[in-house]
């Protein structure tokens, strides 16, 4: 048990919809009377699953329900799920931003978290002053922050604006500075939510590299992202949340990503998808259809040898011509990831 950095047992979080607080004086009295008699909170008996896409009959909703998982020191855990699955609520509980309704969470080590744009920043303070403020929040001394200051500013790329109030920063600049502070103040546990999506591609690449460096020094990292490429690149293990519960317990990150893609990203997509728009550069050659045929899950390829891309083309010419096809694959960021050339083809030309 000594090597555990985070341990959550029967963790649940309930919210009341539409109102702030418990809602009414009668609810407060009922809760107090139940507590006075040693009884459980009567409003914890009600509540519905946190499905944002459907209306319900109860005014209470479980953002998280009976969550249990463990993270060892030095592990990099990816948390995957659709919007509203409970990922951010879980990270807020782990960061002590909010308290759980039921259950316990034990955290061993100093936490640095980046949960949303501007977390922990005071808009009237300059970037430099906010670095010291965040350092103090994370338990660092002024001397320790000063030692790291140049490295933080250089990583953020905001040196020109470091003495400007952050209320004048763009959202991308705030994320740059916030991540630089969180990652460089030597946290034992680094928690990062989807905020990195605000940054540009170059900065996202730097962040992934920095988190890999932090993990390589025996630190613990929890990473939430909808970018499956980043999740797979950084994390070794993952969990999948759905409607406030753990759909897939902690497992290898590739298994978690594959489940997420099959269940949520390919729903409504047939196993054969036809593309009906392309560009033809010559009247002698035309593409009739392009079909993505995947044996396992719609139009998303999860592993090797599990599908095919079928191209139906026609070559119409009174003379003999040849066509050479090339297939190039790009990821969501536009980076080239694969190349394949099936070879050269000839039309059905017969010499007279």
Over residues 62-71, the pLDDT tens digits come to: 889 999 999 9
Looking at residue 275, its pLDDT comes to: 43
Category of 292 on φ-ψ map: left (φ > 0), alpha (ψ -120 to 50) or beta: beta
Tell me which residue of 23, 73, 339 sits closest to 190, measured CA to CA: 73
Tokens of 188: 């034992």
Which of these, 334, 327, 332, 282, lies nearest to 309 by C-alpha position? 327
If phi > 0 it is left, if psi is from -120 to 50 it is alpha, else beta; for residue 21 that is left
Write down the pLDDT at residue 152: 92
User: For 17-30, what is each residue's pLDDT tens digit?
Assistant: 765 555 567 777 88
Residues 270-321: tens digit of each pLDDT: 444 444 444 444 556 666 666 666 554 444 444 445 556 666 666 666 666 6
Q: Which residues are CB-contacts of 219 (< 8 A; sequence separation ≥ 6)?
A: 74, 187, 188, 189, 190
Each residue's pLDDT tens digit, 254-268:
889 888 877 765 554
Helix, strand, coil percentages (3-state) for the chain, rounded to 5, are 30, 30, 35
Global pTM reads 0.66
Q: Which two tokens stand for residue 246?
A: 């753990």
User: 99: burial class by Cβ within 10 Å (0-12, 13-18, 19+)?
Assistant: exposed
Least Cα distance to 199 among 277, 257, 135, 114 occurs for 114
**What pLDDT shows up at residue 233?**
82
230-243: string of b/e by CB count within 10 Å (b at 16+)?
A: bbbebbebbbbbbb
Judge whether 187 and 110 are in contact, CB under 8 Å: yes
Residue pair 193/178 in contact by the 8 Å Cβ criterion: no
Task: Please tell me the predicted confidence (pLDDT) of residue 19.
Answer: 54
CATH class of 4-265: alpha beta
Q: Give the span between the Cα atoms of 179 and 96, in whole angstroms.
A: 18
Measured in whole angstroms, the distance separating CA 248 from the mean position of its chain's CA atoms is 16
For the chain, the structural domain boundaries read 4-265, 272-346
- At which residue do the structure tokens 């680094």 appear? 190
Query: Around Cβ 143, how many Cβ atoms within 10 Å?
Result: 7
pLDDT recorded at residue 258: 84
First to last CA, the chain: 84
Q: Which two tokens stand for residue 63?
A: 């953002």
Non-local CB neighbours of 6 within 8 Å, separated by 6+ positions = 69, 70, 71, 94, 105, 106, 107, 108, 189, 220, 222
How do the pLDDT tens digits run along the chain, 352 residues long? Answer: 468 899 999 999 988 776 555 556 777 788 788 888 888 777 666 555 555 555 555 677 888 999 999 999 889 999 998 888 899 899 999 988 888 988 999 998 888 888 876 777 899 999 999 999 988 887 788 998 999 999 999 998 899 999 999 999 988 888 889 888 888 877 889 888 877 766 677 787 888 888 888 888 888 999 998 888 788 888 899 999 998 899 999 999 988 988 887 776 555 444 444 444 444 445 566 666 666 665 544 444 444 455 566 666 666 666 666 667 677 666 555 555 666 666 666 655 544 3
């Amino acid at each position: 048990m000594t090597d555990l950095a985070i341990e959550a047992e029967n963790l649940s979080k309930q919210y009341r919809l539409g109102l702030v607080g418990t809602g009414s004086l009668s609810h407060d009295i009922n809760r107090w009377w139940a507590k006075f008699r040693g009884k459980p909170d009567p409003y914890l008996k009600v509540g519905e699953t946190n499905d944002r896409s459907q209306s319900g009959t109860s005014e209470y909703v479980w953002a998280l329900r009976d969550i249990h998982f463990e993270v060892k020191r030095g592990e990099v855990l990816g948390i995957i799920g659709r919007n509203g699955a409970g990922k951010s609520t879980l990270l807020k509980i782990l960061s002590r931003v909010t308290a759980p309704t039921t259950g316990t969470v034990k955290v061993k080590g100093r936490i640095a978290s980046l949960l949303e744009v501007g977390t922990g920043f005071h808009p009237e303070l300059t970037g430099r002053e906010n670095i010291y403020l965040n350092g103090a929040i994370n338990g660092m001394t002024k001397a320790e922050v000063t030692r790291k200051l140049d490295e933080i500013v250089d990583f953020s790329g905001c040196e020109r604006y470091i003495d400007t109030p952050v209320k004048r920063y763009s959202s991308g600049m705030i994320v740059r500075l916030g991540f630089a502070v969180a990652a460089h103040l030597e946290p034992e546990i680094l928690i990062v939510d989807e905020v990195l999506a605000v940054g540009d591609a170059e900065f996202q690449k730097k962040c992934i590299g920095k988190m890999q460096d932090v993990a390589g020094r025996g630190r613990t990292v929890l990473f939430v992202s909808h970018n499956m490429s980043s999740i797979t690149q950084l994390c070794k293990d993952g969990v999948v949340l759905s409607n406030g519960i753990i759909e897939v317990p902690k497992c290898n990150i590739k298994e978690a990503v594959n489940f997420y893609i099959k269940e949520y990203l390919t729903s409504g997509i047939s196993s054969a998808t036809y593309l009906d728009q392309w560009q033809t550069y010559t009247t002698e050659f035309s593409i009739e259809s392009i079909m993505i045929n995947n044996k396992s899950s719609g139009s998303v390829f999860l592993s090797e040898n599990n599908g095919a891309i079928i191209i139906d083309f026609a070559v119409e010419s009174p003379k003999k011509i040849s066509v050479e096809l090339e297939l190039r694959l790009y990821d969501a960021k536009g980076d080239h990831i694969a190349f394949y050339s099936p070879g050269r083809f000839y039309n059905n030309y017969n010499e007279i």
